Amino acid sequence: MLDVYKYVTDKLKTLDTQLYTDYIPTEKTYPYVQFQFPNVSPNGFGELNLLQIDVWDKSTSNVHVETITDNIDKLFNRHNETTNDYCIQTYRNTPYRLNIPDPDMEIRRRQLRYVIKIYRKE
């Protein structure tokens, strides 16, 4: 599973934003991206990993949060990668893009959901 975390982290580090995994510190700066894997299921010879990415921004406009969200979708939607250790395929989950309201009217949040199929080489 650590190789899947590394794969996602390496892709998201290309964005100009803070990146967190399961833990978000109290002292955070906006915008930031947080990702987690709520569940992993075996799939024949591989695994299906549900990837959930949350994009947070503090602004009165949704332009910045939408731009980050679009850039993340370009990184993951229908992406295939093969290394010496595995083959990964990433697809949008349904629903894949959610607008999640926050009680603070200046907080903008989007959630992206993908299924990552990983086949490890032996």
Tally the domains of the chain: 1
Residues of the chain with pLDDT under 50: none
pLDDT at position 39 is 82
pLDDT at position 3 is 84
Mean residue pLDDT across the chain = 91
Domain containing 12: what range? Answer: 2-120
Q: Which residues pair with 46 in a beta bridge?
A: 43
d(CA 23, CA 96): 22
For the chain, count helices (H), then strands (E).
Answer: 2, 6
pLDDT at position 120 is 87
CATH code, domain with 75: 3.30.2000.10
d(CA 12, CA 72): 7
